[in-house]
Structure 1
Amino acid sequence: MRFASLSSGSNGNCSYIGTEKTHILLDCGAGIRTIERGLKSIHLELSDLDAIFITHEHNDHIKALGAILRKVPIPVYASLGTLQGILLCKALKEFPKELLHPILTDACFPMRDLRLIPFSISHDTREPVAYRVEEGDKHLAIATDLGNFDAYTVNHLKDLDVLLLEANHDIAMLENGPYPYDLKRRILSDYGHLSNERSGELLEAVYEKKLKKVLLGHLSAENNTEELALETVKKHLSSTSLSLSVAKRGDISEIIEW
C-alpha cells in the first residue's frame, strides 16, 4: 500500500492512495498543475487514476475537480449531500455530471483491492465525511475538517498503520490574529477545524502500537506553524516509535509504503 499527501492546507488538499492494482485521489482541492506534478513524482498521470473520492464540497477540497474531469473521465464518489454541493458550485464550470456517484456513510465501498469506509465528521457542509482505507490488514485514514470528535470518530481511527490528521490552528494565534470575529467563531466551533491541542488529544485517544506514521495536515498558513503543531501534538504522545511529521502545503509529502 502506498500513500502520499500531494497538498495539505487551508488553500488546497489532495492525497494519493494506491496499490499495485489501484490508484485513487482523496479530494482534489489543490490546483491541477500541483496535482499532476505530485502524481508525476510517483510515476503516475491523471489517466492512471481509477477514482476520486471527495470528503466535502468546500473549494479547498474540490477546486481542481472540474478541470480534471474535463481532461480525463474519472469516476467521482462522495456522499449524496456532498454531490449536491458540488453541483451547486459554479466555480467548477462545466464537466460531465454522469461521472458523479453517491456512496453511503458507514458502508464499506470496494474499489478493486481497496476498501473505503466513509464516516461522518463535524463540519459546516451538507454531509462531510472522513475516510478509512484498507487493503487486507493494512489500514490508513484521512481525517481533516472536523470541528470536534467523539467515541464514534475514535472508533473509526483505531487499528491504523498510517494517519493524516488535522492540526489546523493554534488557538492563541487564531484569537489574536487578523481574521474577522465571525470567521474565528466558525473555525473554533464544533463545526469548524481541529486545533493543535485537540488534534493531540484525538491522537492520544486513537494511538495503538500498530500506528507507525502520522502526518499532521490542513495547517492554516495564518494561524499555525509547523513547529507549533508538532510541539503541541507531541505533548500528548508517550510513544517514541511513532513517526510524526507535517503534510506540506502545495507540495508532495514523503511517499509512505508498507
Structure 2
Amino acid sequence: MRINYPPTEPHGEIRQLLPNFFYVPGTIKLAPGVTINRNMGIARWQDHLTLINPIRLRPQQEEKLKDLGRVSHAIRLGYHHGRDDLYYRDHFDLTFWTQRGSDFYPPKADKVLRQEDVCPIPGGRFIVFSQSRFPEAVLWLPFSGGLLVSCDALQYWQSWHGCTWFGKNLLRFSGIRRGMQIAPSWRARMVPSDKNPGLWLKYDFEQILRQPFLHFLAAHGDFCADNAYEKVVYAVGRAFPNMRVPHKINNKVI
C-alpha cells in the first residue's frame, strides 16, 4: 500500500553544534502564509544516530545524514509533533521512542519513553512531565557539560529565522518573545482549566532544574550555548515566582 507521507518542508543543511551533536534548522507551514521554524536534533554515539524531534530531509541532506552514521533511533518529545515520524519509521531500521498516549501522529512507539527507563544515548536521561494534559518530555544528554533538548515547553528565541511575517506575528500574539521562556501557549494547553497555572507543572520544572547543563535546543527557536542553565532558571522563576530555584557551583546543582 502506498503511503502519502507529508512532503518535505523547506529546511537548511545539517550543522554541527557540539562534538557529536548536530541539528537541522527547518520550517513548518501552519496555514497559507503562516510558517514558523522548527529544529531537529541529531545525537551521535559511536556510529549510531538518534534523531530528536525528527524532520524529513531533502534527498541530498538525507544522504549527508547517512554519512554521519547509522540512523538507529528517533525520539518524539512532544504530543503535537511527529508529522515526519512515520516516514523515518518506514524507511530506516530504527527504534521509535515516544510516551504512551502521544498519538496525535502515527506510528505507535517501539519503545515507550519513561522517566525511569533507559535512554538510547548512554548517560542520557528523559525527564517526563507528570502533570501536563498531553504527553511532553525533555531529554538531558551528557554532551559538553550537559545539553538539554526540549520540544515545546521551553523555547529560546534570538531571531525569527524560518518564520514568515504572519508566522512571526502569530508567535508574538501567542506570547513568544526573544529570550528563554516557558512557551505561554504550550502552558495554556497543558494546564487543566480547573487548576492554578501558577502552581501546576511547577514540580516538573523543578525536576528539569535538578540536571546541570550548559547548552539548550528546542523544537522551535535557536540554539543556546554555554549559559543555558542560568537562562532556564530565570525563565522558570518568572513563570513560578514562589519557586525556590536552585543554582550551580562548579557545574553542580544545589
Give TM-score, length-normalised by structure 2: 0.50
Instruction: Work out which structure has the larger RCO, using CA pairs closer than 8 Å and 6 or more positions apart in sequence.
Output: 1
Write 1 or 2 for the structure with the bigger share of helix. Answer: 1
